[in-house]
Chain A
Amino acid sequence: MTQTELLIQLLINGVTIGSYLALIALGYTMVYGIIELINFAHGDIYMLGFMISLTLLGVLGVRGTLGGWELWAVLIGVMLATMLCTGLLNMTIDRLAYKPLRRAPRLAPLITAVGMSFMLENLAMIWKGSSQIFYPNVFPMIDIPNQVLGMKTNVLFTTKDVLLIGVTVPLMVGLSLFIRNTKMGKAMRATAQDREAAALMGIDAENVIRTTFFVGGALAGTAGMIVGLYLNTGRYLMGFDAGLLAFTSAVLGGIGNVTGAMLGGFFIGFLQAFSDQYLSSEWTRIIVFTTLILVLVFRPSGLLGQRTPDKL
């Protein structure tokens, strides 16, 4: 592998890791923006997206690689169903665990979120076991530069990378457009900026919060499914790990800021790819969290944040 090939490969790795982290980070940042809660259970919604889509594929009897219309029908069908399930699940979690604490001191829902995270992880462990879980290799893997473009290179860029980016990036763009242009999106921003004033304008804050949890859950669920298709493996604790990095991405980008969360996700993705290569993967987490600390010290509102995030 030449240095150039290596560099390209690292960029590809960074983008792929970053794209699913960014998709998860959006849920953290949106919920924080509206109710100032770090929803620690959010990473586990991503994990459940993996589990639920896996179960749905099992119900459909999908075990191996598909092709043609069957592939797209299964992918789109399972993805929509997964989004619906994780979205509703996230909404239910809010209803049961966080809504009764809406007026309580901030620490109460925060601790509840940590508890909710443990609960979901353990339920998933009971449901699917504690070992790693294999996800069927549904999506065909074709080495694009070598097999399609006829190049001779050691850079690995496959149809699976295309799938990952092709799903996550449009979803992020779609969410940005939704928040920027739709009435509900504007109401979400208004509620995030001033909940009482929003209520005085006739905006039902609870409805906005429900929508936020639904959208965040659906995005995290999609990330779980896509990672399943991409890595073909997962585990009940996968949400803890990815959630921590995604949360860091959200804070790095400026928590509450949607564009910032996406930027933060890609930033962490690149950081991970380059640190694994040039330092050591044992150091990667230290690098990630040190960067977070540095950003918070020198730019407390994150890269794109508009206000100082409240201390936890």
Chain B
Amino acid sequence: MALLELDDVHVYYGNIHALKGVSLTVDKGEIVTLIGSNGAGKSTTLKTISGLKHPKQGKITLEGKRIDAVEPHRVVTMGVCQAPEGRRIFPRLTVLENLEMGAFHRNDKAGIVEDVERVFELFPRLRERRRQQGGTLSGGEQQMLAIGRALMSRPQLLLLDEPSMGLSPILVETIFQIIQEIHAQGTPILLVEQNALMALQVAQRGYVLQTGRIVLQDTVENLAQNEMVRRAYLGET
């Protein structure tokens, strides 16, 4: 049984049919990437998994349990946490408080302290700035905070929405290294990216989303060879 499975998921914004039957799976131990252009429905897919949107049709299961009608805060408790698009850190909470919010549903004080330590090891910059307000961080630091905050819930599955957006090339490298490190420590990741080049380097499998439909799914090696992917997402002519 797959860790996460979307089966023919349809999502609407009012009359707009945003997801037109998306099916995908993420297994334990995987990094799976979802690539596509602006407006293809990548973020909508993640929002729907997190429970911010509810599908009109289709089902979403986490280890066999239906989660498509579950409220977002319950989805976190069930083990799926998201670092959303645009980071969405709490600007007037300190770095430490932001991390504590990530662990909101947990009550194991010792474990939380341990995990804060783990996040600080992943992102030493955050340790330096732990008493600073989130809003005063640079874009890269905010992205680190967003990922660290999501990790604080000890997710069974981590959803990352455009972690490289707006970052300098060096920072993008750093972020992707850390994504691999998180994966190596045992957390499966569903990665949404516009930067397909980077995404295809770190993931094992990938899906290509176009106007609300999965048009292609394969291993990253095959996707990287695919003519359409090369033209549309890897910038080759």
Contact = CB atoms under 8 A, between A and B. Distances in A.
In their complex, do chains A and B touch, with some C-beta pair under 8 Å? Answer: yes
Contact of B52 (A190, A193, A196, A203): A196
Interface in B193-231: none
Contacts, number: 68
A204 B71 contact: yes
B52 A200 contact: yes
B51 to A, nearest CB: 8
Interface residues of B, number: 26
Interface of B: 50-52, 71-73, 76-77, 81-82, 84, 88-93, 97, 100-102, 104-105, 149-150, 153
A306 B92 contact: yes
A201 B92 contact: no
Most buried by A among B51, B76, B101: B101
- Which 6 A-B pairs have CB atoms at the shortest separation, nearest pair first? A202-B76, A197-B88, A199-B72, A202-B105, A204-B73, A202-B104
A201 B154 CA distance: 11
Contact of A201 (B52, B91, B153): B153
B58 to A, nearest CB: 21
B100 A202 contact: no
Interface residues of A, number: 18
Mostly, the A contact residues are helix
Contacts of A197: 84, 88-90
A112 to B, nearest CB: 24
A186 B149 contact: no
B207 to A, nearest CB: 22
A186 B149 CA distance: 14
A194 interface: yes
A257 to B, nearest CB: 10
B153 to A, nearest CB: 6
Given A183-B100, A194-B88, A201 B93 contact: no
B82 to A, nearest CB: 5
Interface of A: 183, 186-187, 189-190, 193-194, 196-205, 306
Given A200-B82, A203-B101, 19 more contacts: A186-B97, A186-B100, A187-B101, A187-B104, A189-B93, A194-B88, A194-B90, A196-B52, A199-B52, A199-B73, A200-B52, A200-B81, A201-B73, A201-B76, A201-B81, A201-B150, A202-B104, A202-B105, A203-B73
Given A201-B104, A202-B104, A203-B104, A196 B73 contact: no
Given A200-B82, A201-B104, A190 B90 contact: yes
Nearest to A181: B97
A308 to B, nearest CB: 15
B68 to A, nearest CB: 16
A186 B93 CA distance: 8
24 contacts: A183-B100, A186-B101, A190-B93, A190-B101, A193-B91, A194-B88, A196-B52, A197-B84, A197-B90, A200-B50, A200-B52, A200-B72, A200-B76, A201-B102, A202-B76, A202-B77, A202-B81, A202-B104, A203-B73, A203-B104, A204-B71, A204-B73, A205-B73, A306-B92
Most buried by B among A190, A200, A306: A200
Contacts of A187: 101, 104
B97 A200 contact: no
A31 B82 CA distance: 27
B104 A200 contact: no
Contact of A202 (B52, B73, B90): B73
A187 B71 CA distance: 17
B101 A201 contact: yes
Contacts of A196: 52, 72, 84, 88
B234 to A, nearest CB: 30
Contacts of B101: 186-187, 190, 198, 201, 203
